[in-house]
Structure 1
Amino acid sequence: MLSTLARAATRRPLTVIGLWAAFLLLGFGLGTGVFADLSDDVPDVPGTESDLADDHLSGIDPTGESVTAVVAGEAVSDAALRAQVERTVAEVRRIAGVADVPDPYTTPGLTARDGQALVIPVTFEGGLSDEAEEEATDRAVETIKRIDAPDVHVSGGELLGRQLGERAQQDVEKAELISLPVVLALLLVVFGGLRAAALPLVVAVSGIAGAFLGLFVFSQVTDISVYAIQVTTMLGLGLAVDYALLTLVRFREERRYTDDVVEAVHRTVASAGRTVLFSGLTVAVSLTGLLVFPSVFLRSIGLAVAAVVVVDMLAAVTLLPALLTRFGGRIRPSKARSEHEEGRVFARLARFAQRRRTAVLVTVVPVLLLLALPVTGLRIAIGDARQLPAATEARQLYDTVDAHFPKGTGVSPVVVVLGPGTTPATADRIRALVAHAESRDLPGGTTVVELMPPGSVDGGAATGLVERVREIRGDEPVQVTGVAARLVDFRAMLAERAPWAALTVLAGIFVLLFAFTGSVLLPLRTVATTLLSLGAALGVVVWVFQDGHGAGLLGGEGLGALSLTVPPLVVSIAFGLAMDYEIFILARMRESLSADRRRTLAGRASRRPVHAIARHRDTLDGGPAVRADSSAGEEPREPSGQAAGVPAGRREAGRGVPTGSTVRRHTGDEREAVVTGLRRSGRVVTCAALLLAVVFGAFMTGGFSPILQIGLGLTLAVLIDATVVRMLLVPATMALLGRRAWWAPKPLRRAHERFGLREAAPEPRLPTSV
């Protein structure tokens, strides 16, 4: 497949570039339409009690959405200001589609006790079309904004989604303006030339276009959260740079061996392209765990991010080869270095970790576990306007109300729907749960009771109230909805589906890594070390944003809980990124093992008859998959007097030549292969992690608390994984496992031999300067 893609890209490079240009126009033209239809409501879970009750109320409640205005900054008793407010209230009431606007001067609770602020709630009619509701909202906001006062803020309802969408678009543009120049500067340092440094940015722009287009498509069938825009775009940008970096580094290496650009591109795609393919698949598989959750938000963002990963992967193996075919001739080859000069720092780290494997493990593992300790106290919540940047209209409204009104003002109530047949005794017991409850009758014999909980909208008192109502109702037709009820249902959904999501991801990752390595122990080792870095990163996020240690330095504040979408998103995405770097390193390890074996067989072949060499040529070109030659559970042993890699008892008579079905794919020097793998991939992995950290950091400048939490979690996970885990734990654990790291039971070895995905790279050549 990769060979076919490479040939298409090199034969028709202008056609490939033209197709991708059309895709970019589509993504930045049609795709950016998603910013006009974003939602801030993410905790809804279809089929849950809170969702069903909300749908039921939407069908019978004559009132619709509402917006809230706050006027502050001067004494609201001032005659001129009062006249303006009363005139404005009268005008808003006459707007088509407006159901109710209470007088803030005569309605209890709408004027602050300090006399410096008042609230104007505007409720719209139910059943309005989207166009009618939008027009009524715009006219109401325009009318209220004409009030001459120091502070006039309006938000809520449908208006909030639009305000956040506009802010999200500004934040994405700001992040791109910050990250792209910094990424370009870093790539200039890496490659030493503008042409090579600019190509990853071209691929990155393709990733952004793919993010916009994917989200726009999903927005036609489901709600898209404002936070999905930033998460998807940052990953689209970051992964595109990662894959392009890996490919370009390999292309510059291949240019040392040939002056033929097309041949260098083919060899690059056959090696680095295969790594990109598996890396993209592992990231996509890691996100399939989000599809197990019935949450619309989690499913949509999982599908959107997976789509973006596929776009980045395709761009790296089609667009980039086409660009290299047209412009790669002027890209300088990488400098030829001796084995001792190349990646000396990473080689020394690997050898140190191998020699001191026990010391490394007993030092690094406890430190990571200590960092992960705060996860044991993890709490999730929907949150309030404090999650929003200070400059947003909704946050300014919240801060103004909080400054002038009693605590708890504006907290969403726990909504209890009493269906026909509910006994008066049950209704009275429910009302008695709180000091303040309001009731209203709806058509069909339904009664709605709104219970005002103490504390925050999703605090322990509010969620406890939901659970208490559900205990009291017994078998009667009573349903609970509202913000607190949705949080309770979301938590229950996570607890129920999380084990299945983990099982789905781990099974998929195991299959892919087994297909890549032919080992059953390497996937297990990879998952174990990756979970350590994930736990450490998430623990720091909890310590910062939940407990409030240093959150202000990042532009946030301690909120007592994480946003409810942060843990599943950080875990799934960071797990995929960690697998990304694992594939980078394993690919070089396997290549080293295969190269060592090529040299061994080539030296032996010079002493064999020509027909024997031809007969077993397939072993020279075999993929780097590792096949254990021993029985299940036994460590392979090299037969005395034979070249490394020849299994005992399976040699051609008189020659000692291994049969193609049982030959080992390596020489037995696994320790040196680990060193070589890190020597050759360490620079790429470190640069890729640094570039991703830059991208994530740029998106954190927007100030949305969930994005700050996700950005910090992903940044820490990537940096910890690319440094501590990959540079220390990987060589230490590989040394501890030894040759057993590449072990697999015989049935699985045969399955890998038959179905394992591999595409052998061409034989290496001497540098053109030799």
Structure 2
Amino acid sequence: MYVRRLAVIAVWLAIAVAGAVFGGSVYDRTQSVETLPAGAPAAVAQDRLDAVAPEGERVVAVISGRDVGAIGLIDSVTRTAFEIRAIPGVAEVEDSYTTGTRKISTDNRSSLVSVELKPGLSDDEALRVADQVSAALRRIDASEILVGGELLAEREFGDQAVRDAAVGESVALVCVALLLIVLLGGLGAGLLPLAAALGAVAATLLTLTGLARLLPVSEYAVNVVTLLGIGLAVDYSLLMIARFQQERSADPGASPADLIERTVATAGRAVLVSGAAVAAALVGLFAFGDPLLSAMAMGGALVVVLATAAGLTLVPALIATAHRRIPARSRWRRRGPGLLARLAGFAQRRPRAVALTTAAGLLALSAPLFFVEFANSDVRVLPRSSEARQAYEATQQKFADPPKQPLTVVVEAGPEQPGIPELFAAMEGLPGVSDVYVRSELPPGVSVADVVPSGAADSREAQQLVTALRALDAPAPVLVAGPAAELTDARRSVAERLPVALTIIVLATGALLFALTRSVVVPVKAIAMNLLTLLATMGVLVAVFQWGWGASVLNFEPWGALDLTTPLLLFVFAFGLSMDYEVFLLARIKEEWDRRTATDAAANDRAVLAGITAAGPVVTTAALAIGIVFLGFVLGGLVAVKEIGVGMAVAVLLDVTVVRGLLLPATMSLLGRWNWWRPGLTTPAPAPRIPVG
């Protein structure tokens, strides 16, 4: 990297330019990704329903501001309804004046217009027709017109995701740049990690743009990927710069080439192990078989590989080029022991009390998990300014019988066959059923009924209704589709596949930590502490986003649940980043342990304190920087993205202060030399030195 530094920088510069020019088009290629694994009962039911009774997308408009009986309004709505019926691609229009369906609000100041598009339209065609319909609806002579529907809400979600990414990345990069310039002691040193982050993210966007031609890529995945890429690249850059400064301080007469070689041979090994640990955590997402999570895993794995590559190639090349601009000692090392070193010293003086107190505190923070509710994100996660959300809320609040998303039951038998009328009668008698509408004009050999839940479409009662419908004694196979069915199947799939994902992640990260430390105890303890961090973080998220604690500060409105994907993504990302800091610290602790003969009982404590003192400032700065990155995404409007941003910031804060500063040194002090035990080692002793970290 020293000899070929200019060539390496030139290659990464070309990648960054290509990513800036072409990578941004990935947002134009993103699409909505299914949230159910292939073969899920609700997905099978929906496919069957689309085959026998296809329905098009709907555009819904709430017309408000005038008395619904005003002649001018009636004429305007009537004229517009006939105009919309003439638009190619429109299947049906329902309103209060030209059809027999009365859709009037309780205060007689609003009416509802529902437009169904023809089935079979592509996404682009449907959006084009929806825009024509929307433009026609807005010409109605009324003071307030809100146009929404699932199709338009999905587009708003994508557009909002792009805006959130732009705002979040801009604010995060500026704040992180200022922080790094101050802490690293100079403009050149401070901007170096940002250059690595931009290179990794640009390369990821460029790769995703190519993959989007072959595989579905979610706009949500792009947001999370850029967030993770910036954080990892900054972390790895800080570790490399700090080690270079330490090597130069220890040997002022060494040549830059020798210093770079030592830096990559030590800190570079920690970067490689850390990147492998984060990638292994992401691989666990594939075990869920969820298309959305798989898209996240794909993007996340890409950015981890590229951030690691940047840390091992671009960062050393930049250090080699700008080493004269890197101060001999950063400001984090000019003020005595860092925060983690002071916390570690405190924990080692009273390890038992600290270990019990911190573990109990983390468990207390996780208590809200007993009351957690999970649901699939819908229009309610859009910001209050979203027209699609306003239209949805207006239909729910202004009308006595607002439109509801029913559970649709498909029975593989004709309505004339014995037992089918009795089956539909049994459905009407189930708890939580408001109405049952049997459809007509279907192909022979199939029956379809829309079962309307009495409560919300994805409520716990609606999910229980799905189970009851599937358990009915039917004369033919019964399939159930609808929001509650999808949520029920998604939760069941997660519960069934979670052990497999956990096994993959735990075994992979445990093996990597064993290779790093040559200990069995240290990896097991590290995984247990990471799980404690995750449980506490999830408890905080329940209190904030489900219960609404601090909602006004974070500028969102709670909708009574967490997105079902949040704990899975948070588990993988937070687990991976926790392993990041664990590797940074353990690598130095192991190095200090290997330097000692361990003939006295205090050798372990001295090694732990020395390792944390050496690596602690890097970890603290990295955590502060990545915390700013995550909090940058809290500024966005999507609640699902806010959940990830707040969750990651909380996880990093707890991990670096409570877990790494207190629980890690306390437990290592309690275990003493047994920290380094492995099978076949009867008396714990230092292993042969491995130059890591």
TM-score normalized by the length of structure 1? 0.83
Looking at structure 2, the residues matched to 115 and 79 of structure 1 have their Cα atoms a distance apart, in angstroms, of 14
Alignment correspondent of 1:585: 585
CA contact (8 A) 1:168 1:226 kept: yes
Partner amino acid, structure 2, of 1:23: I
User: Deviation at 1:296?
Assistant: 0.8
Alignment correspondent of 1:67: 59
User: Deviation at 1:308?
Assistant: 0.9
Alignment correspondent of 1:575: 575
Alignment correspondent of 1:118: 111
Q: Does 1:51 align with 2:50?
A: no
Alignment correspondent of 1:518: 518
Looking at structure 2, the residues matched to 20 and 544 of structure 1 have their Cα atoms a distance apart, in angstroms, of 41
Q: Does 1:529 align with 2:529?
A: yes
User: Deviation at 1:336?
Assistant: 11
Looking at structure 1, the residues matched to 689 and 216 of structure 2 have their Cα atoms a distance apart, in angstroms, of 38
User: Deviation at 1:583?
Assistant: 0.4
Give the match's secondary structure for 2:61.
strand
Q: Does 1:325 align with 2:320?
A: yes
User: Deviation at 1:305?
Assistant: 0.9
User: Deviation at 1:191?
Assistant: 0.9
Alignment correspondent of 1:768: none
Looking at structure 2, the residues matched to 47 and 444 of structure 1 have their Cα atoms a distance apart, in angstroms, of 25
Give the match's secondary structure for 1:11.
coil
Looking at structure 2, the residues matched to 748 and 465 of structure 1 have their Cα atoms a distance apart, in angstroms, of 59
User: Deviation at 1:550?
Assistant: 2.6
Looking at structure 1, the residues matched to 231 and 285 of structure 2 have their Cα atoms a distance apart, in angstroms, of 20
Alpha-carbon distance change, 62 to 85 in structure 1, aligned in 2, over 3 angstroms = same
Deviates more, 1:41-50 or 1:514-523: 41-50
Alpha-carbon distance change, 145 to 371 in structure 1, aligned in 2, over 3 angstroms = same
Give the match's secondary structure for 2:267.
helix
Give the match's secondary structure for 2:439.
strand
Looking at structure 1, the residues matched to 201 and 80 of structure 2 have their Cα atoms a distance apart, in angstroms, of 44
Seq. identity, %: 38
Q: Does 1:291 align with 2:283?
A: no
Alpha-carbon distance change, 47 to 30 in structure 1, aligned in 2, over 3 angstroms = farther
Give the match's secondary structure for 2:42.
helix
Looking at structure 2, the residues matched to 228 and 44 of structure 1 have their Cα atoms a distance apart, in angstroms, of 16
* 1:140-183 CA distance string (max 9 Å, x none): 22222333533323233433322221111111111122111111
Give the match's secondary structure for 1:63.
coil
Q: Does 1:390 align with 2:389?
A: no
* 1:448-467 CA distance string (max 9 Å, x none): 21111122121022112111
What 5-or-longer segments of structure 1 have no aligned partner?
1-8, 598-636, 639-643, 645-666, 762-770
CA contact (8 A) 2:381 2:640 kept: yes
Alignment correspondent of 1:427: 424
* 1:245-302 CA distance string (max 9 Å, x none): 1112222223333463333222221111111111111111112221110111112112
What 5-or-longer segments of structure 2 have no aligned partner?
none
Looking at structure 1, the residues matched to 350 and 644 of structure 2 have their Cα atoms a distance apart, in angstroms, of 35
Alpha-carbon distance change, 760 to 574 in structure 1, aligned in 2, over 3 angstroms = closer
Deviates more, 1:172-181 or 1:60-69: 60-69
Alignment correspondent of 1:699: 633
Q: Does 1:464 align with 2:468?
A: no
Looking at structure 2, the residues matched to 78 and 218 of structure 1 have their Cα atoms a distance apart, in angstroms, of 54
Looking at structure 1, the residues matched to 232 and 426 of structure 2 have their Cα atoms a distance apart, in angstroms, of 55
Alignment correspondent of 1:381: 375
Alpha-carbon distance change, 398 to 214 in structure 1, aligned in 2, over 3 angstroms = farther
Structure number with larger C-alpha Rg: 1
Looking at structure 2, the residues matched to 99 and 186 of structure 1 have their Cα atoms a distance apart, in angstroms, of 57
Give the match's secondary structure for 2:505.
helix
Looking at structure 1, the residues matched to 689 and 437 of structure 2 have their Cα atoms a distance apart, in angstroms, of 64
Alignment correspondent of 2:490: 490
Alpha-carbon distance change, 43 to 346 in structure 1, aligned in 2, over 3 angstroms = closer
Alpha-carbon distance change, 498 to 251 in structure 1, aligned in 2, over 3 angstroms = same
Q: Does 1:301 align with 2:296?
A: yes
Give the match's secondary structure for 2:230.
helix
Alpha-carbon distance change, 178 to 525 in structure 1, aligned in 2, over 3 angstroms = same
Alignment correspondent of 1:350: 344
Give the match's secondary structure for 1:82.
helix
Alignment correspondent of 2:11: 19
CA contact (8 A) 2:184 2:330 kept: no
Alignment correspondent of 1:602: none
CA contact (8 A) 1:69 1:153 kept: yes
Looking at structure 1, the residues matched to 11 and 110 of structure 2 have their Cα atoms a distance apart, in angstroms, of 57
List, as ranges, runs of 4+ consecutive aligned residues in structure 1 with deviation greater than 4 Å: 37-42, 335-338, 756-761
* 1:288-328 CA distance string (max 9 Å, x none): 22111011111211221121111111111111122222222
CA contact (8 A) 2:439 2:449 kept: yes
Looking at structure 2, the residues matched to 461 and 109 of structure 1 have their Cα atoms a distance apart, in angstroms, of 29
Partner amino acid, structure 2, of 1:437: V
Deviates more, 1:724-733 or 1:409-418: 409-418
Deviates more, 1:193-202 or 1:547-556: 547-556
Q: Does 1:92 align with 2:96?
A: no
User: Deviation at 1:198?
Assistant: 0.7
Alpha-carbon distance change, 49 to 217 in structure 1, aligned in 2, over 3 angstroms = farther
Looking at structure 2, the residues matched to 337 and 203 of structure 1 have their Cα atoms a distance apart, in angstroms, of 21
Alpha-carbon distance change, 711 to 748 in structure 1, aligned in 2, over 3 angstroms = farther
Alpha-carbon distance change, 63 to 530 in structure 1, aligned in 2, over 3 angstroms = closer
Alignment correspondent of 2:172: 179
Deviates more, 1:495-504 or 1:259-268: 259-268
Looking at structure 2, the residues matched to 372 and 65 of structure 1 have their Cα atoms a distance apart, in angstroms, of 41
* 1:390-429 CA distance string (max 9 Å, x none): 12222121232233223x7233111111222563222332
* 1:523-543 CA distance string (max 9 Å, x none): 011111111111111111112
* 1:661-719 CA distance string (max 9 Å, x none): xxxxxx98221110011111111111111111111111011121212222222111111
Alignment correspondent of 1:503: 503
* 1:218-270 CA distance string (max 9 Å, x none): 54455444432322221111111111111122222233334633332222211
Q: Does 1:28 align with 2:20?
A: yes
Alignment correspondent of 1:627: none
Give the match's secondary structure for 1:590.
helix
Partner amino acid, structure 2, of 1:11: V
CA contact (8 A) 2:427 2:436 kept: no
Looking at structure 1, the residues matched to 209 and 500 of structure 2 have their Cα atoms a distance apart, in angstroms, of 29
Alpha-carbon distance change, 470 to 555 in structure 1, aligned in 2, over 3 angstroms = same
1:121-270 to structure 2, matched below 5 A, reads 121-256=114-249, 257-258=251-252, 260-270=255-265
Alpha-carbon distance change, 734 to 747 in structure 1, aligned in 2, over 3 angstroms = closer
Partner amino acid, structure 2, of 1:389: P
* 1:70-112 CA distance string (max 9 Å, x none): 2223334333333332222222211111111123334435221
* 1:535-554 CA distance string (max 9 Å, x none): 11111111222223333322
Q: Does 1:417 align with 2:442?
A: no
Alignment correspondent of 1:628: none
User: Deviation at 1:209?
Assistant: 2.0
User: Deviation at 1:431?
Assistant: 4.0
CA contact (8 A) 2:586 2:611 kept: yes
Looking at structure 2, the residues matched to 336 and 177 of structure 1 have their Cα atoms a distance apart, in angstroms, of 25
Looking at structure 1, the residues matched to 14 and 595 of structure 2 have their Cα atoms a distance apart, in angstroms, of 41
Deviates more, 1:299-308 or 1:553-562: 553-562
Give the match's secondary structure for 1:67.
strand
From 404, 412, 415, the equivalent of 2:398 is 404
Partner amino acid, structure 2, of 1:555: N
CA RMSD of aligned residues (A): 2.7
User: Deviation at 1:217?
Assistant: 4.6
User: Deviation at 1:555?
Assistant: 1.8
1:723-742 to structure 2, matched below 5 A, reads 723-742=657-676
Looking at structure 1, the residues matched to 199 and 96 of structure 2 have their Cα atoms a distance apart, in angstroms, of 52
Deviates more, 1:198-207 or 1:36-45: 36-45
Alpha-carbon distance change, 410 to 11 in structure 1, aligned in 2, over 3 angstroms = farther
CA contact (8 A) 1:349 1:727 kept: yes
Looking at structure 2, the residues matched to 127 and 549 of structure 1 have their Cα atoms a distance apart, in angstroms, of 44
Looking at structure 1, the residues matched to 69 and 690 of structure 2 have their Cα atoms a distance apart, in angstroms, of 78
Alignment correspondent of 2:481: 481
CA contact (8 A) 1:210 1:236 kept: no
